[in-house]
Amino acid sequence: MTAPKKSTSIYKKIGISLWIVFLSFIILFPLYIYSVSINFLNLYGDLPSYSALENPENDLSSELYSADGVLLGKYFRENRSQITYEDLSPNLINALIATEDYRFEKHSGIDLRSLFRVFFRSLLLGQDAGGGSTLTQQIAKNLFKTRESDGLLSDVPVIKMVIIKTKEWIVAVQLEKSYTKKELLAMYLNTADFGSNAYGVKVAAKTYFNKGVDSLNIQEAAMLSGMLQAPSRYNPSRNPETALFRRNTVLGQLKKYGFLTTAEFDSIKALPIELEYKVENHNQGLATYFRSVIKWFLLDWSKQHGYDLYESGLRIYTTIDSRMQRYAEEAVNEHMGALQKLFDEHWAGQNPWIDDNGKEIKNFIEDQAKKTDRYKSLVAHYGEDSDSVDIIMNKAIPMKVFSWEGEKDTLMSPLDSLRYYKKFLHAGFMAMDPHTGHIKAWVGGINHKYFKYDHVKQGRRQPGSTFKPIVYAAAIDNGYTPCYEVIDAPVTFPRPGQNPPSWTPSNFSGVFTGEKMTIRQAMAKSVNSITAYIMKKIGPETVVDYAKRMGIESPLDPVPALCLGTSDVSIYELIGAYSTFVNKGFWTEPFYITRIEDKNGNVLQEFFPKTGEALSEETAYLMTYMLRGATEEWGGTALGLSRELRSDNQIGAKTGTTQNASDGWFVGITEQLSAGIWVGGDERTIHFKDRSLGQGARMALPAYEKFMRKVYADKDLGYVKQPFKEPLKPLSTQLDCSKYAGNTLEADSLNTMEAFDENEIF
């Protein structure tokens, strides 16, 4: 009879023990939760503050927009953009719910049913039952980095995981109190990693399918939802078979929960994954050089104003017009591809780096290689006299190289690669509104991925004859008129104490005609002797002063040769200076940012260009008349522009060519637009052997024409052929050089003859 009593006593003790455990849990668990929430004694690490939960922060790409509202590009470490719930495709919402958290609408951050399932099946039965985390818990993990902790218990293996899960529970419950279910879904998809540097579903949809989030179909939504479990493993570009299996698993979940019928499931499951895979980077999209150059201004601005350009989600609005930018890039590419072919044929397997005597420069590539970062790093590692440096520099390795037919896979040594790339011609093109200063298009080179150097603002080269209008502007502002007559004869400048003791510039043809002509005709034909005559009359210092007034900030040597463009300037400065002629004598700084907003659309700063009066209004208009001479006078250097472009239109223009034809320039102005281009080799020793091929009218003018044709053809842009606007005040100078009419092309006789810069030496 004692056994039953003993058995009862044992059960009673077990029952009491279970009650003690249960009551202890009921009492201690809330205390534990509370201690984690306040980070008691710094045992667990901090939780996000209430304000952080109300205003969660995650790294957002800063976005650069064109004037017509097109996204030009982004600045990012992690490429991430925000969307709202309304932006989401229903297919994506359904796929996410079916795969990640079917009870999302029914729980308050913690799904107890899922937790019990995980406990019993995973811990007691050893089966894989998932992690039991809700979408809200995953937001806590993604957004608030709950798995990063500096508490005293954070390094204890098992306890660490318990603390992490506890933090996720606490944050998830707080998030559920602060946001609606729709907001939480959008928040989750904004914080998720989809691989390929695509953070957030907006970037992921663009990266994998080149479409907006609202346009995702069922199979695309299923693929993206499936990637969330393991972005690298299920990346459809790298692991297409694994990604397809995962996508179909998600489709199975959609069928399981009634989002798809069996027939729909069977049909969609059989479809392949169709990608338009393109990882967004800083070498792609429109205006790559522009984005790269202004980045430094934006970094400095962000630092001064307490922002991080790569993380703060700034919205930068620019003056660039995406349509004109595209036309400029197309025009430059079309022209430069053809010009490069001509250049290669011209040299026919020879090296294009030559000295003043036309001889190939010995050891040119070896000397250039010593300036590269690769060579310098090898020397730093192995020593300057080490054979290892030469071995590595001459060892062929697999690489991709740029070509005008597309990227090519090849084997090249670093020296061969340098030799290959030095043979390319480069370009810089810019177009701006001469009245507002707004830059409309900026093409800094032929390919930003392979050639980073910007030839619009960073690059400076001798402008040749494109500098002459500044000389003539100074003269006209000081009393000369476009009809002022000068004889084409030698002009000599003394050079006391120098060897030789004097300088007499020659014309391109090498002869002086003795012909009397107006300075309008002289500039139209680019006659050096007459420009030199004007320079001698007004003096180099006067010319430098006017150049500075018109925005030329590059150093200018106040010497006689300046009249022929011997001091380096940028196309950015030159287009700004020419715009002064159209803008009634007011120089306006070329201008590219209108405003910067924060991620919520609040305007942080608006920008306005610098401006100042450089010329009188009459002088400015007379200079448009002077520049029109290149398209209207017999022998004008811009007669190569087609009749279609010139007829019923007023275009002022100037070509420029340096002495050895290493630089070709062209600048054109109309009432609505100033634009210009520089073309040349990477080094000044790289150029055509024949100067007639290296003239600005051949090397640069065609790209301008292609651009303007495209601009005029797009009626939505609003650019039309028209005359330059005359000053309101009557001109004191009569533009009547009728006695020279025989040298002037009448409007109805415009032809398509090609006329090139045959009178230029600089």
The tens digit of pLDDT for each residue in 497-541 reads 888 889 999 987 788 999 999 999 999 999 999 999 999 999 999
Least confident span in 96-110, 349-363, 422-436: 96-110
Does residue 760 have a pLDDT over 60? no
Task: Please tell me which residue, 498 or 167, carries the higher pLDDT value.
Answer: 498
In this predicted structure, what is the pLDDT of residue 762? 35
pLDDT at 735: 74
Give tens-digit pLDDT for 282-293: 888 899 999 999
CA distances from 486 to 133, 149, 494, 520, 537 (A): 88, 83, 20, 10, 12
Average pLDDT, integer, range 133-147: 74
Half-sphere exposure of 526 (CA within 13 A, CB side): 33
Report pTM. 0.83
Tens digits of per-residue pLDDT, 196-222?
A: 888 889 999 999 999 999 999 999 999
Tokens encoding 718: 């609003």
Q: What's 82-269's CATH class?
A: mainly alpha
Between these two residues, 343 and 31, which has the higher pLDDT value? 343
User: pLDDT tens digit string along 55-83?
Assistant: 566 678 899 999 999 999 999 887 888 88
The lowest-confidence range among 128-142, 649-663, 695-709 is 128-142
Is the pLDDT score of 132 beyond 70?
A: no
Question: How confident is the model over 84-109, as a mean pLDDT?
Answer: 87
Read off the pLDDT of each residue in 126-140 and give the average, rounded to a whole number: 68
Q: Has residue 166 got a pLDDT over 50? A: yes
Give, for 594, the enclosing helix (H) or strand (E).
strand 593-597
What is the dotted CATH code of the domain comprising 464-745?
A: 3.40.710.10
Distance CA(199)–CA(74), nearest Å, equals 13
In angstroms, the first-to-last Cα distance of the chain is 125
The better pLDDT of the pair 691, 219 is held by 219
Cα–Cα dist 486/514, whole Å: 10
SS3 assignment, position 493 = strand
Confidence at residue 115, expressed as pLDDT on a 0 to 100 scale: 64
Q: Average of pLDDT values for 611-636?
A: 96
- Is 33 a residue whose pLDDT tops 80? no
Give the pLDDT mean for 487-494: 94
The sign of the torsion formed by the CA atoms of 151, 155, 159, 162 equals positive
Count of alpha carbons within 13 Å of 27, Cβ hemisphere only? 6
Query: What is the predicted pLDDT for the residue at 214?
Result: 92
User: What's the pLDDT at 114?
Assistant: 64
Residue 651 has pLDDT above 90, yes or no: yes
As a whole number of angstroms, the longest Cα–Cα distance in the chain is 144
According to the model, what pLDDT value does residue 174 have?
79
648 Cβ neighbours under 8 A, 6+ residues apart: 721, 747
Please give the pLDDT value at position 155: 67
Q: What is the pLDDT of residue 747?
A: 37
CA–CA dist 139, 75 (Å, integer)? 24
Segment 155-183 shows an average pLDDT of: 75
Residue 206, token pair as written in the block: 């663009």
Question: 594 falls in which pLDDT band (50, 70, 90)?
Answer: very high
Residue 393 has pLDDT above 80, yes or no: yes
**523-532, 534-543, 566-575, 743-752: the lowest-pLDDT one:** 743-752
CB environment 714-725: b (16+ within 10 A), e (fewer): eeebebebeebe
What pLDDT is attached to residue 130?
Answer: 52
Q: Which residue has the higher pLDDT, 149 or 95?
A: 95
Q: Is residue 193 scored above 50 in pLDDT?
A: yes
Answer yes or no: is pLDDT of 53 > 90.
no
- Cα–Cα distance for residue pair 36/43, rounded to 1 Å: 8
Name residue, tokens 């001459």. Answer: 394
Residues 311 and 317: their CA atoms lie apart, in Å, by 17
Domain locations along the chain: 82-269, 355-400, 464-745
pLDDT above 80 (res 46) = no
Looking at residue 703, what is its pLDDT? 98
DSSP per position, 187-254: HHHHH-B-STT-BSHHHHHHHHHSS-GGG--HHHHHHHHHHTT-TTTT-TTT-HHHHHHHHHHHHHHH
pLDDT of amino acid 178: 82
- H-only helix segments in 555-616: 571-582
- Please state the rounded mean pLDDT for residues 46-51: 59
Tell whether the model's pLDDT for residue 42 goes beyond 60: no
How much is the average pLDDT of 690-699? 91
Portion of the chain with pLDDT greater than 90, in percent: 68
pLDDT-derived band at 105 (thresholds 50, 70, 90) equals confident
For the record, the structure tokens of 418 come out as: 């340098």
* Contact (Cβ atoms closer than 8 angstroms) between residue 463 and residue 569: yes
Q: Tell me the two tokens of residue 455.
A: 């030839």
Query: With 70 as the cut, is the pLDDT of residue 3 above it?
Result: no
Mean of all residue pLDDT scores within the chain: 87
